[in-house]
Amino acid sequence: MSTLRDLAEEHTALRPADIDHLHRIAGDWQLLSDLSFADLLLWVPVDGDGTFLCVAQVRPTTAPTAYLDDQVGRIVGGPEVAHLEVAHRQGRIWREGDPVWYGDVPARHEAIPVRLRTGDGENGEVIAVVGRDTNLSTARTPSQLELNYLTTADDLAQMIADGTFPPPRHPGETTSAPRVGDGLVRLDANGKVTYASPNAQSAYRRLGYASHLVGEDLAKLHRRLAGDPLDGTEAGNAVLAALRGEAPPRREIDARGATMLTRALPLMPAGVPIGALVLVRDITEVRRRDRALITKDATIREIHHRVKNNLQTVAALLRLQARRVAMPEARVALEESVRRVASIALVHETLSMSSDEAVEFDGIVDRVASAATEVAATEVTVGMRRRGSFGILPAEIATSLVMVLNELLLNAVEHGFPPADEEAEPAPADAPRPEVVVSVHRLRKELHVSVTDNGRGLPGQFDAERGGNLGLQIVRALVTGELRGTIALRDGAAGGTEAVLVVPLARGTTDRLSG
């Protein structure tokens, strides 16, 4: 299904700023749909000949839908969209007309012009129309809650027509909560509560306020209820800001072991401040789970930190032992073990600074590659380069993969570029600079990695399946065992050696991989 932006760019001449405004409406219009007990359809004019295209749709959670089928992508014209044409051409909300039928469902049409205000705050042109279509099959005498919902919905509809709704979104905020059904409080221009839904009343009762909210000054009430005076002041100031026509960020109030999230919205149809709408949600259990997760994450990070310290201690002991060993072969073996332990410690160091069991792997590869050129037993200066991005990898893949890459990089440097005194002839002046390249890309649910050098290539009698030193044996064991992948060693297409890894990523975190 095409997105709102795709449809608008393909079928209309709307500007990027127009489309961004439509996106903001679609991000916040569930509120209007629930208050209206109606479906909302976002229509944009196509050719200026009375034809309209539906680019977005939302159904109410408070009432039955008027449309069983998805309307997005539908292009209509003629008498069926006469109400949309009036709202678009005249820039006013259209509420006239008799009910219409969609199959067996009777519905009432309304059309709300969408206006984008200019940079200087003046009323701009109408760029789209919101169709508000109400299912009338369950019509009944409205309750006090429904009357307050509908009154507030009409105020917000007028603000859409004025270009003042939705308000700007604050950094880091989402549109998921609170919603109309969580709790709604309506204030008059003086900040006094004129209506509070039953769920809102229950949320305040959890904070310790047992009386009815109607008639209360909500800003002062927030200051009294909050256990932390600073939280109470901020929550109270948010209400006052909404009464002034501003759109403050959401605030939380903690009291008596309960937590409530509040969102204050100004009500100013036709530019006249008439009060505010405050949505509230009891998030006590959410915050309790958050605190438990924070404690768990801190414990996990501490474990990784201690594992890293223990591995570094092991590496230090091996390094001391290597200095005391007289046999060169034993010293080399111990030094290789030090490097292997250090590469694992590098993963745990990264995990100790992460909030989950995943690591940004590019930085780890770059550090391992840099270390390989510094410690490799060769007199040749070898350059290291990475192409592509590993992105974020789960810890169980990262720990094994870093050991594999460490061994492959060391092998490429030490065996691909022998010391100068082993060369039969000096290299020509125009010979390419010795280099090892780590390339990575994602194909379907697999990670494809190659380590390529431009050195002397594999020995003539090299057995790709069984040959190699201890390092290559470790590589094969880790790739086929822990990583459940495959590895191939071969001569490079342009000379040198190429090691190709294919590692499956279907472990629950592949969607976070970039590159």
Say whether both 186 and 267 belong to one domain. yes
What pLDDT, on the 0 to 100 scale, is given for residue 424?
47
Say whether both 14 and 76 belong to one domain. yes
Dist. CA 475–CA 488, nearest whole Å? 11
Look up residue 182 and give its two tokens.
């969580």
Alpha-carbon distance values, 479 to 378, 391, 394, 444 (Å) = 27, 19, 16, 19
Helical spans, DSSP H, in 47-109: 82-90
The identity of residue 78, as a single letter, is G
Dist. CA 283–CA 260, nearest whole Å? 6
Write out the H or E segment, with its range, that includes residue 450.
strand 446-453
Dist. CA 65–CA 132, nearest whole Å? 11
* Percentage of the chain exceeding pLDDT 90: 46
What pLDDT, on the 0 to 100 scale, is given for residue 427?
56
Which of 248, 262, 121, 267 has the alpha carbon at shortest distance from 190?
A: 267
Residues 6+ apart with CB under 8 A from 471: 336, 407, 410, 411
Q: Is residue 443 included in any domain, yes or no?
A: yes
pLDDT of 209 higher than 90: yes
Confidence grade of residue 374 (pLDDT, cut at 50, 70, 90): low
Mean pLDDT computed over every residue of the chain:
85
Last residue in a domain, options 261, 284, 307: 284
pLDDT of 432 higher than 80: no
The identity of residue 347, as a single letter, is V
Dist. CA 291–CA 297, nearest whole Å? 10
Cα distance from N-terminal residue to C-terminal residue, the chain:
25
Q: Is residue 143 included in any domain, yes or no?
A: yes
SS3 content of the chain, % helix, strand, coil (to 5): 45, 25, 35
Look up residue 160 and give its two tokens.
């859409």
Dist. CA 20–CA 5, nearest whole Å? 8
Say whether both 130 and 54 belong to one domain. yes
CATH of residue 25: 3.30.450.280
Say whether both 148 and 279 belong to one domain. no
Least confident of 28-42, 274-288, 385-399, 415-429: 415-429
pLDDT of 341 higher than 90: no
Say whether both 195 and 143 belong to one domain. no
The answer to whether 312 and 338 are in contact (CB under 8 A) is no
Confidence grade of residue 45 (pLDDT, cut at 50, 70, 90): very high
Confidence grade of residue 513 (pLDDT, cut at 50, 70, 90): very low
Strand locations in 39-162 (E) = 39-45, 52-58, 75-76, 100-102, 105-115, 126-135
What pLDDT, on the 0 to 100 scale, is given for residue 375?
59
Dist. CA 255–CA 284, nearest whole Å? 10
Q: Is residue 329 included in any domain, yes or no?
A: no
What pLDDT, on the 0 to 100 scale, is given for residue 463?
66
Counted domains in the chain: 3
The boundaries of the domain holding residue 375 are 355-419+431-508
User: Residue 123: how many CA atoms within 13 Å on its side-chain side?
Assistant: 12
pLDDT of 514 higher than 50: no
What pLDDT, on the 0 to 100 scale, is given for residue 378?
59
Say whether both 158 and 184 belong to one domain. no
Say whether both 11 and 157 belong to one domain. yes
Which of 49 and 204 is assigned the larger pLDDT? 204
Q: What pTM value is reported for the model? A: 0.62
